Structures are given as structure tokens and as C-alpha cells.
Amino acid sequence: MQMSYAIRCAFYQLLLAALMLVAMLQLLYLSLLSGLHGQEEQDQYFEFFPPSPRSVDQVKAQLRTALASGGVLDSSGDYRVYRGLLKTTMDPSDVILATHASVDNLLHLSGLLERWEGPLSISVFAATKEEVQLATVLAYALSSHCPDMRARVAMHLVCPSRYEASVPDPREPGEFALLRSCQEVFDKLAKVAQPGINYALGTNVSYPNNLLRNLAREGANYALVIDADMVPSEGLWRGLREMLDQSNQWGGTALVVPAFEIRRARRMPTNKAELLQLYQVGEVRPFYYGLCTPCQAPTNYSRWVNLPEESLLRPAYVVPWQDPWEPFYVAGGKVPAFDERFRQYGFNRISQACELHVAGFDFEVLNEGFLVHKGFKEALKFHPQKEAENQHNKILYRQFKQELKTKYLNSPRRC
């Protein structure tokens, strides 16, 4: 009897040791994957051992913590910043889509999530006390009902410094408390929002676009910074990941994604073939074509549309930077921040592209991927009341270029 008991004890001890060994081997395998293997092996591993998704309660707890912090003031003291209302975990080698919007323009987030399969970071600007309340309620509702938001989206909030955000009461506004699905949240937002130009807010508060851009790309290695009312081509994130995973030669390179604008946003092209069909009949044209042709002309659209069709995303040709080119691009490493002195409209992206050039980055245009802005940008409809601020930014840009000469004394490049 004692022998039988001893045998059973030995068996259970052996079984426990075997289970511990399996667990240790699993952890060791995952560690080796991160250090020795590529993304393909990691994907295969996570098919069998998927990471546990964050629960709704965990995401709501993060939201409450971020709001309870009281935020921090930006360097100018004019804005209050709440980082990480929503957070997402991200592979350091991943490519993040970084964007920004007013509260009303959060409507575009749904379309971005459909097209961009990777992590997304959005900075939201609430210009009034009422918008601050609406923004927190929306973050609460989206995190409650949208699994993609919980899994892939980081959200930050910026408001004028005189306002403070608070943890939303789920009953206020009452309509949002009745929602039960992600689609219902966006449908409700569509009814209460008044989408328009971010920097034509109808208030005396300046839209801090560069502060929002920096906040959205904060902590990312590779990032594609776009406006919220732009849509990437289908599969762009996956193509970028495959290209970047295959080589580490892209340091110091800005991979330019050609930007277009479409007359009617109901028909968004998914691939280059569809884009070219619309381009040929005038439904699609180069971005800023009717507003600032030189701002995008160096992309060389005539060359891009005539490139041979390819299945793999890759750089097609090199373009030297020239003023006032402001391309949309993917870059990693020591990418200069956007200068937050530029607000509202004018020279906010040109200044950053200028510094990127002086800092030694080269610009290479991608062959297949693209961005499409919803609607044609027309000068007559373009914030005429903001002309004074545009002139201020023009003067600031001249000053900025002089500052770069001191900042990059050893660089042979100038703007």
C-alpha cells in the first residue's frame, strides 16, 4: 500500500515537472522568436498561442486613469493634453497610422479602421467645454462597443488649457447610453457631428495641428502621418510591413506615399488600377491640385501613373526635396518633430518636410500604395477667415528656415 502511494506521488511530481518544463519551453520559444526570427515565425506562433485581448473593463479603467490625471499643459501653456485615453500594444517594428481630428471629424475613424489593418493612433481636439464632454463620452462608447478600437487604437485628447476633462457619466449624453454596437456609436455620431475643416472650427481657438501630429506619432518607430479625412489604399499596412521586415536599409529614408483627392467620396478606390480609372476621367486628381500645385508637384504624378504594375510594394524612384513640397511619408529613426508653433493653416507640414531634408533624409516614392483625400480641395471654399494666421505662419516659416542653419551647422542642405 505504501509502495502504491509512493508511486502515485512520484507520478504526480513527474507530471507537474513536465508541465512546468512545457511552460518554460514555450516562454523560451517566444523569447527566441523576438530575438532571432522574423514576423512570419511570430505570426505562426500567435496562431496557436494568441495574446489575450484586453477586456472592456481594462480599457475603461485606462480611460478613467487618463482623465483623472488632469492632463498636462503643452509647452505653450495654451492647451491641455490627455495622453492615452485608449492605448494599444505595438510591435516596435510595426508601422502606425498617426492622424488627428476635431471631435466632429472622428466620423472618419471608421473608414480608417476598415482600410488600415495595423495599429492606429489618433489625437482629438475639443475646442469647447461641450466638445470636451462629447469627446470623453465617445471614447467611453467606442471602447465599450468596438473591439477594433480596444485592440488597435490609441487615442489622445487635447483641449484649451482652461478646460478639464472628466470621467463621463454613461448616462450623459443620454442618447449614447442606449447604444449597443460599434455601428450604432458611429451612426449616432453622424447625427450629432458637423464634419468640416479641422481648422475652421468657428471658435477663437487655433487648431493645434502640429501638437496633435506629434502626440499621435509619439513612441512610434515607423509612422505614416495623415489627415483623418484621407484613406489609404487597401493592403498598404501589410505591404509596408513586408517591405520593412525584409531589409533594414530604410534608415534615413522617407518613403513617400503619393496623395490624391477624389471628387465624390462615395467611390473610394481600393487599388492602383481603380485609382487610375478614376484619374483618367477626372474624378481623381493630385492632392492640392486646385489649391497649391507646387506643394505636391515634386511627387511627379505623371511618372507614377505610368509605372508598370507590380504585386510587391517598393520604392520606385528618388525625388530630391524642394520647397514647398510637403509629401506624406513613412519614416523611422530620428524623425524631426513637427514644430508646434505652427497652428491652424499654412506651412505646418512644409516646415517639417524641410527639416527632414536638412537632417539628411532622402525621399523615395513608393510604386503601388497611395492616399486619397475625400473631396476636392478648392481655394474658394478654403477658410478665407484664416488668411491672417496664414500670413503669420509664412513669416514664422522664414524664421524657421534660418533657425535650421544654426541647428544643422554641418549639413550641406538648405531649404
Residues of the chain with pLDDT under 50: 1, 30, 33-52, 382
DSSP reduced 3-state for 154: strand
The whole-number pLDDT of residue 174 equals 60
- Written as one letter, the residue type at 395 is I
Q: What is the pLDDT of residue 88?
A: 83
pLDDT computed for residue 48 by the predictor: 36
Residue 74, pLDDT score: 97
- Measured CA to CA, the distance from residue 51 to residue 150 in angstroms comes to 13
Whether the CB-CB separation of 139 and 155 falls below 8 Å is answered with yes
Q: What angle do CA 350, 351, 353 make, to 5 degrees?
A: 65
| Confidence (pLDDT) at 266 | 79
pLDDT, residue 38, reads: 41
Q: How confident is the model at residue 313, as a pLDDT?
A: 96
In angstroms, the CA 195 to CA 364 distance is: 33
pLDDT (tens digit per residue) in 202-224: 567 899 999 999 999 998 999 99
- Position 49 scores a pLDDT of 36
Q: Are strands 230-232 and 371-374 parallel, antiparallel or unpaired?
A: antiparallel
Length of the chain: 415
Nearest to 373 by CA among 231, 235, 240: 231
pTM: 0.84
Specify whether the CB–CB gap between 115 and 91 falls below 8 A. no
Cβ–Cβ under 8 Å, residues 191 and 294: no
Give Cα separations from 355 to 96, 168, 217 (angstroms).
21, 41, 17
DSSP 103: S
Q: What does the pLDDT read at residue 33?
A: 45
